[in-house]
Amino acid sequence: MPYLTVGEENSDAIDVYFEDHGFGRPVVLIHGYPLSGTAWEKQVPVLLDQGYRVITYDRRGFGRSSQPATGYEYDTFAADLNMLMSALDVRDAVLVGHSMGTGEVTRYLSSYGSARVDRAVFVAPLMPYLLKTTDNPDGVDGTLFDGIMQNIKTDRYAYLAMFLTQFYNRGMRGARPVSDELYRANWYVAAGASPIGTLACVTAWLTDFRADLAAIDVPSLIVQGDADQILPYEATGKRFHEKMPGSRLVCLSNAPHGLPWTHADELNHELLTFMK
């Protein structure tokens, strides 16, 4: 299995697991919390069939990557992505992030520029700034995140079950059903992630990306559902689009946070159209 060493922790290497398939223009898919690169199951074969080179990887602490005790913030996440892009000599790439992965796309472009990137896709984004503050009144109240962190500390496994229910809007009117088998498979991936990383990533969600947005100088597509229970559309995708002149916004009716699975056909259509 392919791994890239991105750092060290005491006597151990910090390795990031990745997969690199196909030929042609590269598409780098960056997964959301608390899953892994396997979350792109409904996108990878479609992109390969259309002649793209498809690269997925597991964020440090998740999936098959190492689980260090540090590095769960966006400067490090972006540095890991930069090392992968450089090691694979990726050029003219399309960066596609979902949820937490949109933070990597944003901070990567802000920190390392767009020399290797042709365009960017943000699916259910974190941007521009999730936390409600005096200068960001449209954000989300911080007590919500305090509660999430406490729930993870108290019973991470129970929290993940609740999170995935909201991730797919399970049981909500108008939601597209997902199987119990998918739900269990996602839970096992999430439960196998680093407990330290699972908790620390909540703080990473509150990163202020407003200063990074000016560095996004490539064509950009934003796709989000208006029924997103994890990252409310009004506070994220809609505002992000307003602060990104020239970006394209696609709002999917009744789509949940986990739309790469539930609304795969719609997302794949938008991806392929945008990349052409």
For the annotated catalytic residues, the residue numbers are: 99, 228, 257
DSSP code of 65?
S
3-state SS, residue 60: coil
The alpha carbons of the chain give a radius of gyration, in whole angstroms, of 17
Inter-helix orientation angle 180-191/142-167, to 10°: 130
- Dig out the tokens for 157 from the structure: 């496994």
H helices within 6-93, ranges in order? 44-49, 74-87
Residue 71 and residue 204 in contact, taking contact as beta carbons nearer than 8 Å: no
Quote the longest CA-to-CA distance of the chain: 51
Residues 6+ apart with CB under 8 A from 135: none
